[in-house]
Structure 1
Amino acid sequence: MNWKFSTKKPENQPKKSKAREWFDAILFAVVVSTIFRGLLFSAYAIPSGSMERSLLVGDYLFVSKISYGARMPFTPIAVPFLESTLTTDSVKTYWDGVKLPYFRLPGLSEVKKGDVVVFNKPEEVDKPIDVRTLLIKRCQATPGDKLTIMNGQVFINGKASPNAAAAQTSYLVTTDGRDINPDIFQDLHIEIRQQMAANVFEMIIPTENLSILKSYSNVKSVVPVYQPKGEFDLQVFPHNARFKWNEDNFGPLVLPKKGMTIALNDSTMILYKRAIEFYENNKVAQKGNAVFINGKLAKSYTFKQNYYWMMGDNRHNSLDSRFWGYVPEDHIIGKAMITWMSVDSSASLINKIRWDRIGRLIR
């Protein structure tokens, strides 16, 4: 038997117009890019200096969603590729009339200590989770960990946690009265936070450049700046004088873990009420020493999801978990993988692109 195949189109099939061909091509591109962006990778721009010098303002990153598993949308009806609000918060690009429960596809791994993670800002409880502001920080503690910060050094379960290779913090710099060449600050990526006296400055200095600054003859001393232990900072989580914590001396604090049960008392309610109420969607009321959850008297509570602790590598120029607390698992978007572009907005036109950062893996 002979088989004959024909590639000719039926003569009576109408030919597509140019406009229809363009529409089909654009529709296909939108569908493919939406799937790619929603399930595999998305792009992210660094807007602030909280991760310097690990990441720089103007870096553009690829964020892997398959690393932890792609999170499905909570608000499926939204204008694609646009921010959640335009111009002012009153102009929304989404409709929250339809809300879906949290669901995440299987991932290649779990969030690990040291990962650079993109997530939604937990503070913005008045918005659906997936339209909250995007943040990028380094994971310092994972569910069940006991976190302590002593003089700026993070300890996890009693052991000092490795600092990022390009981490930086504040130092008190005292000179002999002679000026430091301003070009040095630019070359060494040093930021002057404040001047306390004619020859005393607080500076944010990258670790790798610390010894170079100390070597200059007009620099008398360079010592780390820390808030003393026991000095209460109201801006720091949990914003309660019972816990006299600050950004440099903090904890100990145990990160909630799915299935972990805590007794409910004055102290645990200060530390965990926000998670129980806002992140796990319960109605919480306190009457004297009694705690009511969803209208029922409760002596204990079992967490429904995992929580993480995220901090910027630029420790004294970062609003992070030290200020707003835990990052719930359902807020996590993906793992920052690679810098695909880097633009220095303050440089001249010919030097705007930081070529040495393109294609750099994020560690």
Structure 2
Amino acid sequence: MAGYFSVLLVLLTLGSGLIWLIDHLMFAPKRNAHLAMAEASAGGKLDEETAALIAPEPMLTETAKSIFPMIAAITIFRSFMFEPFQIPSGSMMPTLLVGDFILVQKYSYGIKDPVWRSQLVDVGEPERGDIIVFKYPLDEKVDFIKRTIGLPGDKIVYRDKRLYIQPNCKAGETQQGELLCNEFNKIDFKLINDDEFKQGSMALARLNENLTTLNHDILINPQAPERKGRYYQQPGTPTDEWVVPADHYFMMGDNRDNSQDSRFWGFVPKENLVGKAVFIWMSFEFDNGPDDILPGWVPTGVRFERLGNIQ
């Protein structure tokens, strides 16, 4: 089921629309007839104030008529077109930072009903490299955002902080884009810097990774050991290797040593996909510390340079 806010919007839309419709079909004609009789007795059209006294419109109906168009527009926009999200953690650094406010394109991978999230229309499939908001498979009340690494049928290896992909190729294919079929392709990256981002006192290496569909930056903590003991163990595969099931996807955060993702809890089913992250529409800095007067949730600045399309 969708989040509580989505359900509330749908209920408000249906409720206000139903009140408006019932009044239009049943009660408004009676008010109009009563008003017509009063105008006939008066010998002319009555002013609005007098008409309102003779045939008053109930406050509930007036409120429903005033909010229905606005609520309906918001529901349609948020349910089927774009939904705003706030980045709550650093798991997608350096691509997305805490304080980024993004728009998620809801129709990228299909149109779903806003309450039960059942697929109504198929639109497209995720591509490797897409940044996607999805319902966390272990608790679908929680939204996660990660980058798509593995598509259905792909084999994924993450070993010694390097990513390897064996794509799911069609019969007769020898190459899928820049990835060779029937072998694990080592995904290339190159160092950009190692002093911009830190985890505590440890500097994180910023690398540019080539996923063959696009280049994007990731962060690696060279001093952090791999947590293989916590990896999701898929039956029949080595600890650090996964085969993506049909209609599922393998997701990873760009902040590789600070992300709870498919390496730890498994795959994301297609029905859990919410949409593709496409745009940063606002980005706030939150630099207030424990000794500052203002609380930590109060913004201290705006990062205008971050506004724009998401890569």
- Give TM-score, length-normalised by structure 2: 0.63
Matched, 1:159 2:177: no
Residue 333 (structure 1) aligned to one of 274, 283, 286: 274
| Equivalence for 1:149 | 158
Residue 37 (structure 1) aligned to one of 54, 73, 78: 78
Q: Judge conservation of contact 2:191–2:205 (CA < 8 Å) in 1.
A: no
SS at match of 1:343: strand
Name the CA shift for 1:235/1:34 in 2 (closer, same or farther; >3 Å).
Answer: same
Q: Judge conservation of contact 1:193–1:204 (CA < 8 Å) in 2.
A: no
1:190-209 correspondence runs (5 A): 190-193=197-200, 202-207=202-207
Q: What are the ranges of 5 or more consecutive residues in structure 2 without an aligned counterpart? A: 1-31, 37-50, 167-183, 209-219, 289-293
Q: Judge conservation of contact 2:203–2:221 (CA < 8 Å) in 1.
A: no
Question: Distance between the aligned counterparts of 1:49 and 1:335, measured in 2?
Answer: 18
Residue 109 (structure 2) aligned to one of 34, 44, 68: 68
Residue 133 of structure 1 deviates from its aligned partner by 0.3
Identical columns (%): 30
Name the CA shift for 1:350/1:114 in 2 (closer, same or farther; >3 Å).
Answer: closer
SS at match of 1:224: coil
Q: Judge conservation of contact 1:52–1:167 (CA < 8 Å) in 2.
A: no
**Aligned length, in residue pairs:** 226
| Equivalence for 2:23 | none
1:1-363 correspondence runs (5 A): 12=36, 16=57, 20-73=61-114, 76=115, 103-124=118-139, 129=140, 132-157=141-166, 158-161=184-187, 188-193=195-200, 202-207=202-207, 224-225=222-223, 227=225, 233-238=228-233, 245=239, 250-251=240-241, 253-257=242-246, 306-346=247-287, 351-358=300-307, 360-363=308-311
RMSD: 3.4
Q: Which has the larger radius of gyration?
A: 2
Residue 244 of structure 1 deviates from its aligned partner by 6.1
Name the CA shift for 1:226/1:346 in 2 (closer, same or farther; >3 Å).
Answer: closer
Q: What are the ranges of 5 or more consecutive residues in structure 1 without an aligned counterpart? A: 1-8, 77-99, 172-187, 195-201, 209-221, 258-305
**Once the two structures are superposed, what CA deviation does each residue of 1:220-271 show, in whole Å capped at 9, x if it has no partner?**
xx9934647xxx733211289x9663xxxx21x21111xxxxxxxxxxxxxx
Name the CA shift for 1:355/1:207 in 2 (closer, same or farther; >3 Å).
Answer: same
Q: Say which structure, 1 or 2, has more relative contact order (CA 8 Å, 6+ apart).
A: 1
Name the CA shift for 1:153/1:43 in 2 (closer, same or farther; >3 Å).
Answer: same
Q: If each structure's helix is expressed as a fraction of its own residues, which one has the higher value?
A: 2
Q: Judge conservation of contact 1:120–1:331 (CA < 8 Å) in 2.
A: yes
Residue 350 of structure 1 deviates from its aligned partner by 8.6
